[in-house]
Amino acid sequence: MGLALMVLIWLITLVSTYFFVARTWWLPAGASAAAAWIDGQFTLTFILMGIVFLAAQLGLGYIVWKYQQRPTSPPVLYSHGNTKLEIIWTFLTAVLFIGLNLMGAPVWASQRWDPPADDAVKVEVTGMQFAWYFRYPGPDGTYAKTNVKLMDPSAGGEAAVGLDTNDPSAKDDVVTGTMYLPVNREVDLSLRSVDVIHSFFVPSLRFKQDAVPGLNIHMHFKPTEIGEYEIACAELCGLGHYKMHGMVHVVSQEDFDKWLAAREAEKQ
Amino acid sequence: MATPVSVHAHAAPQGFIRKYIFSLDHKVIGIQYFFLALTAVFVGMFLSLLMRIHMIWPTAVLPIVGEIKPEQYLSLLTMHGTIMVFFVLTTAPQGGFGNYVLPIQIGAPDMAFPVLNMLSFWTTFVGFIVIIAAFFVTGGAPLHGWTGYPPLSAVQSAGPGEGLGADLWITSIAIFCIASLMGALNFITTTLDLRAKGMSLMRMPLTVWSWFITAILGLLAFGVLLSAGILLLLDRNMGTSFYVPLINVNGVMMGHKGGSPLLWQHLFWFFGHPEVYIAILPGMGVTSQVLSTFSRKPIFGYKAMVYAMLAIGFFGFMVWGHHMFMSGMSPYSAFAFSILTMCIGVPSAIKTFNWLGTMWKGHIRFDTPMLYAIGFVSLFVSGGLSGPFLAQPVLDIQLHDTYFVVGHFHLIMGVAAIFGIFAATYYWFPKMFGRMMNETWGRIHFFITLAGTYAIFMPMHYLGMAGQTRRYSQFTEVAYQTKLIPLQTFMTYAAIITIAAQFIFVINLFWSMFKGPKASDNPWEATTLEWTTTTPPPHDNFGGVTPVVHHGPYEYGVPGAPRDYVMQNDPATYAAH
């Protein structure tokens, strides 16, 4: 029985570890400035936890096999523990866990506490059941007022996000269903929701933030690779949660300007 | 230390109803809780089976259930989570085994408040009926997940099931809170006041410590959830705006203004995180008890185990914000919550270390309770080690609300806690029902369940890393997620096999109840007080005798003792300790 249990525990441990190490399924390739940091911290955590995982599980398997009661077993060790070992163990775990935590902190801080770069491109993201809308403030650099009372989701576009067309700065506001971003430029994101909580999740950009009705959340990040990246809603928002999907197109600055100009032209 | 006084004594009831239905006997109430949880776990498990089938074969037409629609999938996951967390993981370990075993283990004739005890069971029962009723009302069960984040859960038009179904859901939780508060009060009073002579705090079995600390957590946590639930009911039905700001759902303005969706999250997780420990602490207690008994060795570091549980309970109330790193909560507070969360990993690691230390150089006997206790340790390690990933806000950016989280909490608070319940069932079944369970089938059940749970929940970590978001009824709408469907299919097959294997357990349970070989008073050669009395114990637990305690709870392999174990009530002293 001890042998069977050891084999099972070892097998589970090694098979599980294999798929992690082989990276059969892994984080999608990162395409933002923070990705390298986040992935580095992830890998470090993964290696440390992996060592503990292997040591604990293989040790557990070994112990249950080795100390199975047999006619030849020596008498049990009558012991109520070892305080010195407890203290060493506690200390090591505390250093490992808290140290790991502190190492990751600067990345978190820089994304949230530092202001975005001066040349950041401003985009407002609005979540609603079950679509994402993106608003660019246009040449005047100012978002016009929005009002949930003016919303008409069935009309799409500006009407869907409740753009107040009486506001003079609404003239050049562009609202789209797809997000375009210039590569290697910071994005000053302003995130909101008009109905329930949604979450703006772009795995490849290592970006996730809830969109909460009543709050306007500012975040910034920098896409670093040209490409198309999928947005998946990550907070349960109702029956269409699974299809609240969108696309981020990261393009060259040139293409971005062309695209935005075309949207402005359409609007006029 | 108070000795049990006659005030608590009540004569053995005669009629069927007072004996088995509205019983005041903690043993009967414990068994009632156990069967309630057993019913609930089968409901919850059946719901998860439907979910797994729907994810892979969305258009399948199932007998009775028919074809599952995306919104029904969300109802299934909401009800699965709620029923499992409240009516299984909180009910079985604490209400069931705690009720049955705690008074006997401390040498008391009953709980401190037998009437309150009966009331808390029947209140829980009503709560269960109310939540099941949510399936059958117009619109069906709610779809807002077990966490019930408003505005989704607060606005009737936010989705199907958000009408009467959601009202019943929150009412059931409120009823459950009241029942749990009564239970918690009873457990705390009983532990403090009704211990037998010689049963000092540091001689209490670790199971008693775990139920005691769980009760304290329950007393502090359920009151908050109850209040939060009442506010949600008011928002839903009375036009208040505690949680709902000015919003527009599908082009229609809602009548709310100025509320904060984050308020609910704070209140919910202030309960929700301690709830994780409410589910797992009794499992830790049972695991300690069983590992020591079946290794024939004293528990390694008894005091460290007690302090570790106290530390877990203490820190458990200060980490709720780690569920909210992505919520829009101040990024400053994320630091504090993150560090405190890492701190809670330390006592958890101490416990694991001590469990391994307990088996080290022991004489391990592989009876079924022991297999489950070893399984608990393995699952606790696996589920625990994904914690330090999620506790780091930077990594949580990628992992939050993905299957990585689902895998993490299922391994640790779901399956590990269930393994604790299995260990407890196989361990105390002889005392409760006077017969032994079948060992062969117990072992078969164990091996399939251990391999099966890993096959279901380990792949969830891979999925989560790849960005698979949770609570998706279909994976066909997002291109990168369609690539992950084969892994989901594998998990569905693993779930079907594992669920099927649970019938081995139920058949073994009921068959053994009537046909199993008769159990002796102390079939496991254990030391704690429940094994000093007859099997099953008499109405007042010790047949009119009040036990006196002379030893700690885990005196195995004591040099100089006639047997390899010394019962807690053995008056003899042995040179070695």
Start-end of CATH 2.60.40.420 domains in chain A: 121-267
Reported as a single tens digit per residue, the pLDDT across A151-190 is 998 888 899 999 999 999 999 999 999 999 999 999 999 9
Q: Is the pLDDT of residue B248 over 90?
A: yes
Interface contact B371, partner A, CB < 8 A: yes
Of B420, B349, B201, B457, nearest to A53 by C-alpha is B349
In contact, B315 and B255? CB cutoff 8 Å: no
Q: Is the pLDDT of residue B247 over 50?
A: yes
Q: What is the pLDDT of residue B376?
A: 98
Domains and CATH numbers, chain B: 27-531 (1.20.210.10)
Beta strands in B166-316 (DSSP E): 248-249, 252-253
Q: Is the pLDDT of residue B176 over 80?
A: yes
Q: What is the pLDDT of residue B576?
A: 54
Among the residue ranges A126-130, B251-255, B510-514, the one predicted with the least confidence is B251-255
Q: Is the pLDDT of residue A268 over 90?
A: no
Enumerate the residues of chain A whose CB falls inside 8 A of the CB of residue B159. 238-239
Q: Is the pLDDT of residue B577 over 60?
A: no
Reported as a single tens digit per residue, the pLDDT across B523-542 is 999 999 999 999 999 999 99
Rounded to whole angstroms, how far apart are CA atoms A134 and A117?
20
Q: Is the pLDDT of residue B5 over 60?
A: no
Q: Residues near B81 by Cβ (< 8 Å), separated by ≥ 6?
A: B145, B146, B147
Q: Please answer yes or no on whether A76 and B352 come within 8 Å at the CB atom.
A: no
Q: Is the pLDDT of residue B160 over 50?
A: yes
Of B269, B347, B276, nearest to B310 by C-alpha is B347
Q: Please answer yes or no on whether A210 and B328 come within 8 Å at the CB atom.
A: yes
Question: ipTM of the predicted structure?
Answer: 0.95
Residue whose token pair is 């069906």? B140
Q: Is the pLDDT of residue B509 over 80?
A: yes
Q: What is the pLDDT of residue B4?
A: 46
Residue type, position B164, single letter: L
The per-residue pLDDT of chain A, averaged, comes to 93
Region B492-509: mean pLDDT is: 97
Interface contact B319, partner A, CB < 8 A: no
Interface contact B560, partner A, CB < 8 A: no
In contact, B251 and B269? CB cutoff 8 Å: no
Enumerate the residues of chain A whose CB falls inside 8 A of the CB of residue B397. 38, 206-208
In contact, A210 and B326? CB cutoff 8 Å: yes
Rounded to whole angstroms, how far apart are CA atoms B191 and B111?
9
Region A123-131: mean pLDDT is: 96
Reported as a single tens digit per residue, the pLDDT across A20-34 is 999 999 999 999 999
Enumerate the residues of chain B whose CB falls inside 8 A of the CB of residue A69. 296, 363-365
In contact, B162 and B137? CB cutoff 8 Å: no
Of A216, A235, A214, nearest to B148 by C-alpha is A235
Region A36-57: mean pLDDT is: 94
Q: State how far the alpha carbon of B463 is from the alpha carbons of A173, B78, B480, in Å.
A: 39, 21, 11
Q: pLDDT-derived band of residue A199, with 50, 70 and 90 as boundaries?
A: very high
Q: State how far the alpha carbon of A102 is from the alpha carbons of A36, A89, B325, in Å.
A: 17, 20, 16
Interface contact B288, partner A, CB < 8 A: no
Rounded to whole angstroms, how far apart are CA atoms A34 and A36?
6
DSSP bridge pairs for B189: none
DSSP bridge pairs for B473: none
Q: Please answer yes or no on whether B262 and A241 come within 8 Å at the CB atom.
A: no
Q: What is the pLDDT of residue B294?
A: 97
DSSP bridge pairs for A208: A201
Rounded to whole angstroms, how far apart are CA atoms B49 and A53?
29
Q: Please answer yes or no on whether B246 and A232 come within 8 Å at the CB atom.
A: no
Rounded to whole angstroms, how far apart are CA atoms B550 and B573?
8
Task: Report the residue from B245, B392, B564 with minimal CB separation from A45.
Answer: B392
Please tell me which residue, A230 or B8, carries the higher pLDDT value.
A230
Rounded to whole angstroms, how far apart are CA atoms B455 and B453?
5
Cα B404 to the center of its chain, rounded Å = 20
Q: Is the pLDDT of residue A70 over 80?
A: yes
Q: Residues near B191 by Cβ (< 8 Å), separated by ≥ 6?
A: B102, B106, B204, B208, B211, B212, B215
Q: Is the pLDDT of residue A142 over 60?
A: yes
In contact, B280 and B335? CB cutoff 8 Å: no
The superfamily (CATH) of domain A121-267 is Cupredoxins -  blue copper proteins (2.60.40.420)
Reported as a single tens digit per residue, the pLDDT across B10-65 is 777 778 888 888 999 999 999 999 999 999 999 999 999 999 999 999 999 998 88
Which run of H or E residues covers position A217? strand A217-221
Q: Please answer yes or no on whether B395 and A208 come within 8 Å at the CB atom.
A: no
Q: Please answer yes or no on whether A80 and B558 come within 8 Å at the CB atom.
A: no
Rounded to whole angstroms, how far apart are CA atoms B537 and B529?
11
In contact, B242 and B259? CB cutoff 8 Å: yes
Among the residue ranges A99-103, A254-258, B284-288, the one predicted with the least confidence is A99-103
Region B159-165: mean pLDDT is: 92
Give pTM, 2 decimals: 0.95
